[in-house]
Amino acid sequence: MIFIPLFGINAAALVSSMGYMVYQAYIIVVFKKEFKIPLSRFFAISVSDLQQVKRSIVASVTKQD
């Protein structure tokens, strides 16, 4: 709200987005420390991840019948 009168809505959106990015970085650091996994594994998609997604999709489709 501080930046809207001074610099317009675009500056306020930029500041808000930067805040969300800093918070996301903090959350990743805390998660990494708590679960002791390398950062590369945090962003990589594994075969077991895809299998879990497939199971979830199949389960949601079969529940609708």
Q: What distance in Å separates the CA atoms of residue 58 and residue 52, rounded to the nearest whole number?
A: 10
Segment 25-58, tens digit of pLDDT: 999 999 989 988 888 887 889 999 999 999 999 9
Q: What distance in Å separates the CA atoms of residue 32 and residue 34, rounded to the nearest whole number?
A: 6
pLDDT at 55: 95
Confidence class of residue 4 from pLDDT cuts 50, 70 and 90?
A: confident
The model carries a pTM of: 0.59
Query: For 3-27, what is the mean pLDDT?
Result: 89
pLDDT at 48: 93
Q: What distance in Å separates the CA atoms of residue 55 and residue 49, rounded to the nearest whole number?
A: 10
